[in-house]
Structure 1
Amino acid sequence: MSKIDEMDYTILSFLQEDGKKSYTEIAKELNVSEGTVRTRINRMLKDNVFEFIIHMNPNKIGLNVQVIIGISTKLGYQESIARELNRFSEVRFVGAFSGQHDLIMQAYFKNNDDLVHFVNKELAKIEGIISADVNIELKQYKDSFSYITK
């Protein structure tokens, strides 16, 4: 992987601000050629520095219940449980953490009934789960994928 330099960070900053900004517009603001911007973006995409995604508002598409679930696992089961959780379309994030829970996941559901079904029917089937600490989001104050500060 190539090293990220100041121009790369600036390009990422422009894309972070407006993912639809054209390479030509970015090039003009940086006083470089459009080809330079295109080459750098393609290199960063190839090196998995970032990816273009659509970040949706879950509430606007009918996913009204967001949860964070802390899962305690039996020793030796963490990896297999994480793989199982990855199969569910409702699950947006799964990570291994130090602390009280072995795995923490984030998921979205249409309603509380779907959440209850997921916990009592789907999670209950996964071998190695000791407990699941379900935390429902009451109010969101920030939701960002922004990692670059100006």
Structure 2
Amino acid sequence: MSARDGRTSLDDTSKAIIEQLQDDGRRSYAEIGKAVGLSEAAVRQRVQKLVDGGVVQIVAVTDPLQLGFLRQAMIGIRISGDTRVIADAVADIPEVDYVVLTAGSFDLLVEIVCEDDEKLLDLLNEKIRSLDGVLSTETFVYLKLRKQLYNWGTR
């Protein structure tokens, strides 16, 4: 399941199992087995190997709005110094659900989910802009989510 360059190399059967889970994460191993031509036990073993290898996570994806988190935003952060240090500090903030180091206008892109604009302001001022090395931020408030998929990687 491993390639020499550090990436995971998947066979067609593992990809098919992942596609089945992406389509419906609650699908039983027996149903997946029928679809991909394996026994329930073989599917269970392969899924466990994919989870243990960090290739997939089995999670419940929620709608933040339905849970009372009315503000989502992407924050671009410009940094002085080691971006990895700031990335680690930002990643530890509970409201942050996505951190990526980038090349370009921003050193980091950070997605946040919080209750309202007041919480967003607190997050920006008290938790992000207060970090040593943060030069500036630019906030892109989400007005409406049009598309969000989790089915990349196998097709």
TM range (shorter): over 0.9
Separation of aligned partners in 2, 1:39 and 1:108: 35
**C-alpha distance after superposition, 1:39-94 (max 9, x if no partner):** 211111121110101111010111111010000001x2312211111111100011
Give, in whole Å, the separation in 1 of the partners of 2:120 and 2:89: 17
Secondary structure of 1:106's partner? strand
* Residue 47 (structure 1) aligned to one of 53, 73, 87: 53
Question: Are positions 1:100 and 2:102 aligned together?
Answer: no
Structure 1 gaps of 5+ residues are: none
Between the two proteins, the alignment pairs up a number of residues equal to 149
Structure 1 residue 28: deviation in Å? 1.8
Q: Which structure 2 residues correspond to residues 1-150 of structure 1 after superposition, within 5 A?
A: 1-2=1-2, 3-74=9-80, 76-148=81-153
TM-score normalised by L of structure 1:
0.93
SS in 1 for 2:124: helix
Equivalent residues of 1:13, 1:148 under 8 A apart: no
Amino acid at match of 1:9: K
The Cα shift of 1:149 comes to 5.8
Return the alpha-carbon distance in structure 2 between the equivalents of residues 149 and 48 of structure 1.
15
Letter in 1 for 2:60: I
1:146 Cα offset (Å): 1.5
- Kept after mapping to 1: 8 A contact 2:93/2:127: no
TM-score normalised by structure 2 residue count: 0.90
CA distance in 2, matches of 1:50, 1:89: 22
CA distance in 2, matches of 1:20, 1:89: 27
Between 1 and 2, higher relative CO (CA 8 Å, sep ≥ 6) is seen in 1
- Is the Cα contact below 8 Å between 1:64 and 1:109 reproduced in 2? yes
Q: Distance in 2 between matches of 1:39 and 1:113?
A: 47
Note the C-alpha offset of 1:137: 0.5
CA distance in structure 2 between the partners assigned to 1:73 and 1:46 by the alignment = 34
Query: How many angstroms apart in 2 are the aligned matches of 1:49 and 1:149?
Result: 11
63-72 or 120-129, larger mean C-alpha shift: 120-129
Is the 1:73–1:131 contact (alpha carbons within 8 Å) kept by the matching residues of 2? yes
Structure 1 vs Structure 2 CA RMSD: 1.4
Change (3 A) 1:149 1:4: closer
